[in-house]
Amino acid sequence: MKHVRGWSRSWSACILLILLVGAAVTTSCGRRGSPLDPQPGLTSAGAVLFAADSVPKPPKPPKPPAVTAQFVNADPTPADSTGISRWLLGNNSPKPVVMNWTVTGDSSWSAFPIQGSLTVSRRSTATLNVPIPVPAGTTAGSYPLLLTVQSSEGSASAAGSITVTGDSLSAR
């Protein structure tokens, strides 16, 4: 009788182990990983055996700036004439925005600063064409330009350049 009772305890322990493994397998259905991976939420007498995943979610990507500015190009221009500089203004906000802009360049050029404004539709871009008067006698070369933009939604800036091809009298 003693041997039978010990045998039944061993079988009871085996059956309990099989039931626990079966419960772990069925609770993992439809999840990634091995069926034997620890499952969050399994408890024993009210105590949590395994904590939930502690890896934080990655941060959300930052929102794009509401106002953007980009230099596109400028016409090669001889001295004593006017070339066109082209810029792209962007509005990522949900409403149209008036953008007040200023172009600056070589401090010896009397035309600077050149200012104006442009309304850019919601969530769109607009091309800004700015005439750049090149003074007579300007030496051939590349001259920096800077566009700054101010609006109720924010500000932006972009750098570019205009290429001067030489005095217009020598180009004729």
User: What would the pLDDT profile of 27-50 be if each residue is shown by its tens digit?
Assistant: 555 555 555 555 555 555 555 555
Whether cis (ω within 30° of 0) applies to the bond prior to 113 is: yes
> Cα Rg for the chain, rounded, in angstroms?
36
Assign residue 95 the CATH number of its domain: 2.60.40.10
Pairing of strands 154-167, 114-120: unpaired
Q: Considering the domain boundaries, does residue 109 fall inside one?
A: yes
In a domain, 81, yes or no: yes
pLDDT of residue 33: 55
| pTM of the entire predicted model | 0.63
The single residue listed with the structure tokens 């929102």 is 63
Give the model's pLDDT for residue 101.
98
Tally of CB atoms within 10 A around 133: 14
pLDDT confidence of 65, banded at 50, 70, 90?
Answer: confident
Task: Let me know if residue 128 belongs to a domain.
Answer: yes
Could you tell me which residues come within 8 angstroms of residue 133 by beta carbon, excluding any fewer than 6 positions away? 81, 82, 109, 111
Please tell me the least confidently modeled range out of 9-13, 99-103, 160-164.
Answer: 9-13
* Confidence category of residue 127, pLDDT binned at 50, 70, 90: very high
In a domain, 85, yes or no: yes
pLDDT band, residue 170 (cuts 50/70/90): very low
User: Within a domain: residue 167?
Assistant: yes
Number of domains composing the chain: 1
pLDDT higher at 58 or 76: 76
Residue 6 lies in a domain: no
Q: Does 133 reside within a domain? A: yes
Kindly state whether residue 45 falls inside one of the protein's structural domains.
no
Residues of the domain holding 144: 67-171
